[in-house]
Structure 1
Amino acid sequence: MNRLISAAVAATLLSLAGCTLHSPAPGKPDGGPSAPAGSPPASKSHPRFAPPPGVSSHWNGTLGVYQIDSERDTYYRERTFYRWQDGWSWAGTLQGPWEPVDSTGVPPALYRHHAQ
């Protein structure tokens, strides 16, 4: 029984090992960068969604996705890249292959952004 409890405690500690505490960075109280009034919320990352691997990006809170810094109208969320070029397409990597997708395959706020 003691081994079971010890294993449970060890598993809990290991799962919490990835969590860290830090002081907010200068700028806003939450540590995010300061932005001019009226601009969309932007930060380098999101607490739930991981950024795209190996790609420079920033989190756009209004659209609910990462914007790829080096590509126009290209976004990322949950292991999927989205691109707008007179219609939506998606890919598992930035290099493609890109597949067409309809509105049901694009995060809602992102779809509405380009539907205007």
Structure 2
Amino acid sequence: MRPLLRGALLVGLLGLGACVQAPLATAPVTSPSGSSNHPRFAPPPGVDSQWNGQLGVYVVGGAPHLYYRERTYYRWNSGWSWASNPQGPWLPTDSSGVPPGLNRRYAQ
């Protein structure tokens, strides 16, 4: 009886081992030069934009000094403001409320 039990246990363990899948080998996410998207941050919905790696934000097309990252729009107009929609309402903020790349670009 023991050899039968041992055989059943071995078959069960081998069966479980077959269920374990090795992780898929995938290439790292890279964006071709000139790409308009970032691999981690989603672009703003419904507006033209392009990712700017130096600023760390999307630059929204057709609107001067309008930027987007992580569901937030940032606008420079002699000071910073932010909104969840490109039409506002805009709330004032200081440089600590914007991504660091934007803060460096408009440093006073």
Would the TM-score normalized by the shorter structure come out above 0.5?
yes
- Structure 2 gaps of 5+ residues are 1-19, 21-25
Q: TM-score, normalised by structure 2?
A: 0.70
Partner of 1:105: 97
Equivalent residue of 2:40, what SS? coil
Moved beyond 4 Å, runs of 4+ = none
- The residue type equivalent to 2:104 in the other structure is R
**How large is the Cα RMSD of the aligned pairs?**
2.5
Partner of 1:75: 67
Which of 29, 44, 56 pairs up with 1:64? 56
The percent of aligned pairs where both chains have the same amino acid is: 61
Which of 78, 87, 91 pairs up with 2:79? 87
Equivalent residue of 2:106, what SS? helix
- The residue type equivalent to 2:43 in the other structure is P
Q: TM-score, normalised by structure 1?
A: 0.65
Residues in 1 aligned to 2:88 and 2:78: alpha-carbon distance in whole angstroms: 17
- Paired residues in the alignment total 85
Q: Which has the higher contact order (CA 8 A, sep 6+)?
A: 2
Deviations 1:56-107 (A, max 9, x none): 0000000000000110000000000000000000000001000000111100
Cα distance, 1:115 vs structure 2: 1.1
Equivalent residue of 2:102, what SS? helix
- Structure 1 gaps of 5+ residues are 1-8, 10-19, 25-29, 34-42
1:12-23 map, 5 Å = none
Structure with max Cα Rg: 2
Residues in 1 aligned to 2:90 and 2:32: alpha-carbon distance in whole angstroms: 36
